[in-house]
Amino acid sequence: MSDRETIKRAVKQIGNIEFKGLVRKTGVLKKAVGDSPTDVVGFDYLIYESDGTCYSFYSANAPLIGMSAPCPIDYPLGLETFGEYKIDYKKAINIFHSGNWGSEFTSIALSKPLVFPETSEPYWYFQSTLGVQVLIGANTGKVYLPR
């Protein structure tokens, strides 16, 4: 299921809200480490709506099914909302494997930092088992870290 469909289902569960953007998407791994898209069993989503409330929920990746009920939470500091992006987690994992910073990762997340000057795209964040943080542009596929 695409992000758009997943968020649409969550908004329907919440009720009468106006969705304004995705704040963060954090992968849930089936083990302590992952090396392929099949190791990411789902994502914890954080979405923002027009009255300033954030909602958090989990949605499973196929072939698993299921979604938790969205719960209101505080907006996290340092993040900005974003919409569409071009590089999905499967492509991001392939890009992660293109470098020499470890063959496995302990975390995967997507967010857009609130910085000045403004960033042009959200980033996929990976933490490798070697302790290297890898930042990949979610629109360009460019590796920003490590350099």
Inter-residue contact 43 to 59 (CB < 8 Å): yes
- According to DSSP, residue 146 is labeled -
> What is the DSSP pairing of strand 79-80 with strand 143-145?
unpaired
The C-alpha angle 37, 102, 119, rounded to 5 degrees, equals 70
Per-residue pLDDT reduced to its tens digit, 67-115: 999 999 998 999 999 989 999 999 999 999 999 998 999 999 999 999 8
3-state helix, strand, coil in the chain (%, to 5): 15, 40, 45
pLDDT band at residue 1 under the 50/70/90 scheme = low
* Boundaries of every domain in the chain: 3-145
> For residue 126, what are its two tokens?
């990976």
Other Cβ atoms less than 10 A from the Cβ of 117: the count is 5
Distance of CA 125 to the CA centre of its chain: 8
